[in-house]
Chain A
Amino acid sequence: MNAFEAEGLVKRFGKTTALAGIDLAARQGSVLAVLGPNGAGKTTAVRILATLLRADAGSATVGGLDVVRHAARVRRLIGLTGQYASVDEDLTGRENLVLIARLLDLPGNQAKQRAAELLTEFGLDAAADRRCKTYSGGMRRRLDLAASLVGRPDVIFLDEPTTGLDPAKREDVWTIVRDLVEDGVTVLLTTQYLEEADALADDISVIDHGKVIAHGSPAQLKRIVGGQTALVRPADPERLPEAESILARLSGRRPERPGRGVVTVPVDGDAAFAEIVAALAASGITAAELSLHLPSLDEVFFTLTGQREAAA
């Protein structure tokens, strides 16, 4: 059974069409990533599924319940972490969580206990009794995530949960998502990074201008949008031409120089990358940077729509 499902959602704001009939669905216990650029309609779709906004047309269900007709029951099943942290700045982290627990009808003691549990799990013990005003962006995000888990929801909506986080904090959020899924929770996650969708999702829906323009597993999608790119930055800039010829020889393609002192080339999979690593080592070139990249969202769109996205 699908944990949530949206069919033909349309939403207009005045003259702007935020959603032009999109379908989204995720099996119970899976992760659906909704990938799209600024203004694609990600937040609008999430808000409709989370009962905060009504669609102009189409329908959506969570746990088999219609989000409009059974909004109250749907709210018992879901947790929402919006795009912008919605913690109360004048309250402490603990007070924020206890308040939500109380609103979820947990009796006093249990509310405190649940709050303490989550504060520990999210590494906020030291800051628990400080006002959220004093929190860093990453701490707010984590508290916001914790807040959406107080009621042990079956379905969690995460709207760009890692935007603005440093790489370590991003990994933390990824771990949280994986743990949730392990516990049987269904997750909808919006993101602007193919990398993130690839790391977490069972399925990816790519949306643009309020429409789904591609849908599939990460593997399927990567097949469509092309493979990965290897990037090498020799520690000694003098050896760039040498590195370039190694890349050319191993990949059989023409490398590019997208920036000063770096050279990139498309490769087919991890094995090809391993060969590059070995060949560089064999010729004694030490790399200051050596990495394998998925296409950026921009490139994904270029492939899918055949046109460069104007920066939104």
Chain B
Amino acid sequence: MTLTVHKQAPARLQPRPFALVRHSLALAGRSVTKTLRTPEQLLDVTVQPLMFLVIFVFLLGGAVSGSTGAYLQLVLPAMLVQVMLIAAMATGVNLSTDIDKGVFDRFRALPIGRSAPLLGSVLGDVIRYVVATASMLGFGTLLGFRAQTGLLGVLAACLLTMFFAFCVSWVFVLFGMVARTPGAVQGLSFLVIFPLTFGTSMTAPKGTMPGWLQVWLNVNPVERVMDASRALMLGGPAGGPVLASLAWALGIVAVFAPLAVRAYRRRA
């Protein structure tokens, strides 16, 4: 083997502006490529939500809303939020896998911003939100779901939900940094996701629940997003829940993104 790896080395590379943005986007591209190349990683945002939808609609629809059709109208905008949060969970698990496999060591020894690998993963996983939204709305429509507000309303609901999931994904990134194995990250994430998404009016009207559960619903941020999503797709006053959702989203990212970056720096 002959090697002229170093001959004619050009002037040392100079740092260029907007480095963090460029590096994060390059790494986001990597995440997207990986996701598209391993479609089985998309099962949780394609097949799984469809199963949930079918189970809930046909199992509970008659009992809760009198008909499966009416129930579908009620449950789909809320379940969209749940599915999006499950989609966000994968970010933490994937990061943990990358650290496990040593891929991150390579990135960390490069002269790039410390948060670039994290930002890259979080941004790259937006593709999962898009797939989740498409499969949820597509299948929902097949089953008979009809938005009452028009395209703009649906679009707004999707964007709001994605933004919320994007912000919450920093919680899972933090888990990815502190838990030792990808499996542990997943377990921890589900522990958070279940009470947040099922402890809502997603599957049943709030009025039928015991008082203590209603208290939880009142403080649960995911309930606000589900309210907003319903209002945006089905009509009704949307302003309040939308603002509350945005406030929560920004609050969550303001707290958890710095924590995640700090935990990442600490992790050897």
Q: In the assembled complex, which residues on chain A have CB atoms less than 8 Å from the CB atom of B152?
A: none
A248, CB-defined interface residue at 8 Å: no
- What is the CB-to-nearest-CB distance from B4 to chain A, in angstroms, rounded to a whole number? 7
Q: In the assembled complex, which residues on chain A have CB atoms less than 8 Å from the CB atom of B111?
A: 72-73, 75-76, 104
Q: In the assembled complex, which residues on chain A have CB atoms less than 8 Å from the CB atom of B15?
A: 105
B191, CB-defined interface residue at 8 Å: no
Q: A90-B34, A90-B38 are in contact. Are A103 and B5 (CB under 8 A)?
A: no
Determine the distance from Cα of A198 to Cα of B243 in the docked complex, in whole angstroms. Answer: 69
**B109 x A172 contact (CB < 8 A):** no
**B102 x A85 contact (CB < 8 A):** yes
Q: A52-B268, A90-B34, A172-B1 are in contact. Are A103 and B6 (CB under 8 A)?
A: no
Interface residues on A, range: 35 or more
A129, CB-defined interface residue at 8 Å: no
Q: In the assembled complex, which residues on chain A have CB atoms less than 8 Å from the CB atom of B14?
A: 105
A34, CB-defined interface residue at 8 Å: no
Residues from 137 to 154 in B contacting A, C-beta threshold 8 Å? none
B19, CB-defined interface residue at 8 Å: yes
Q: A72-B111, A76-B111, A86-B103 are in contact. Are A103 and B26 (CB under 8 A)?
A: yes
**B26 x A89 contact (CB < 8 A):** no
**B109 x A51 contact (CB < 8 A):** yes
A123, CB-defined interface residue at 8 Å: yes
B219, CB-defined interface residue at 8 Å: no
B107, CB-defined interface residue at 8 Å: yes
B9, CB-defined interface residue at 8 Å: yes
**B106 x A50 contact (CB < 8 A):** no
- What is the CB-to-nearest-CB distance from A159 to chain B, in angstroms, rounded to a whole number? 10
Determine the distance from Cα of A102 to Cα of B107 in the docked complex, in whole angstroms. Answer: 12
Q: Select which of B5, B19, B23, B112 is within 8 A of A152 by beta carbon.
A: B5
Determine the distance from Cα of A31 to Cα of B37 in the docked complex, in whole angstroms. Answer: 41
Max chain B C-beta neighbours (<10 A), residue from A47, A103, A104: A103
**A99 x B5 contact (CB < 8 A):** no
Q: In the assembled complex, which residues on chain B have CB atoms less than 8 Å from the CB atom of A184?
A: 6
By beta carbon, the residue of chain B nearest A51 is B109
Q: Which of the 9-residue segments A173-181, A250-258, A259-267, A271-279 touches chain B?
A: A173-181
Residues from 43 to 96 in A contacting B, C-beta threshold 8 Å? 47, 50-53, 72-73, 75-76, 78-80, 82, 84-91, 95
**A76 x B12 contact (CB < 8 A):** yes
By beta carbon, the residue of chain B nearest A83 is B102
**B13 x A121 contact (CB < 8 A):** no
**A180 x B6 contact (CB < 8 A):** yes
**A82 x B3 contact (CB < 8 A):** no
By beta carbon, the residue of chain B nearest A90 is B34
Determine the distance from Cα of A175 to Cα of B110 in the docked complex, in whole angstroms. Answer: 25
A151, CB-defined interface residue at 8 Å: yes
**B23 x A50 contact (CB < 8 A):** no
A149, CB-defined interface residue at 8 Å: yes
When each residue 98-130 of chain A gets 1 if its CB lies under 8 Å from chain B and 0 otherwise, what string results?
011011111000000000001001110000000
A147, CB-defined interface residue at 8 Å: yes
Residues from 1 to 52 in B contacting A, C-beta threshold 8 Å? 1-7, 9-10, 12-16, 19, 22-23, 26-27, 29-30, 33-34, 37-38
Q: In the assembled complex, which residues on chain B have CB atoms less than 8 Å from the CB atom of A78?
A: 109
Q: Select which of B6, B9, B103 is within 8 A of A88 by beta carbon.
A: B103
- What is the CB-to-nearest-CB distance from A24 to chain B, in angstroms, rounded to a whole number? 18
Q: In the assembled complex, which residues on chain A have CB atoms less than 8 Å from the CB atom of B16?
A: 105
Determine the distance from Cα of A51 to Cα of B26 in the docked complex, in whole angstroms. Answer: 22
**B6 x A105 contact (CB < 8 A):** no
Determine the distance from Cα of A53 to Cα of B105 in the docked complex, in whole angstroms. Answer: 10
- What is the CB-to-nearest-CB distance from B264 to chain A, in angstroms, rounded to a whole number? 12
Determine the distance from Cα of A76 to Cα of B109 in the docked complex, in whole angstroms. Answer: 9
Q: In the assembled complex, which residues on chain A have CB atoms less than 8 Å from the CB atom of B103?
A: 86-88
Q: In the assembled complex, which residues on chain A have CB atoms less than 8 Å from the CB atom of B10?
A: 152
**B33 x A80 contact (CB < 8 A):** no
**B1 x A86 contact (CB < 8 A):** no
A9, CB-defined interface residue at 8 Å: no
**B5 x A180 contact (CB < 8 A):** yes
Residues from 86 to 121 in B contacting A, C-beta threshold 8 Å? 101-112, 116
A residues lining the B interface (CB < 8 Å): 47, 50-53, 72-73, 75-76, 78-80, 82, 84-91, 95, 99-100, 102-106, 118, 121-123, 131, 147, 149, 151-152, 172, 175-176, 179-180, 183-185
In the complex, given contacts A86-B104, A183-B5, what are 15 additional A-B residue pairs having Cβ atoms less than 8 angstroms apart? A72-B111, A75-B110, A75-B111, A82-B105, A90-B37, A91-B33, A99-B27, A102-B23, A105-B14, A105-B19, A122-B1, A151-B110, A172-B1, A179-B3, A179-B4
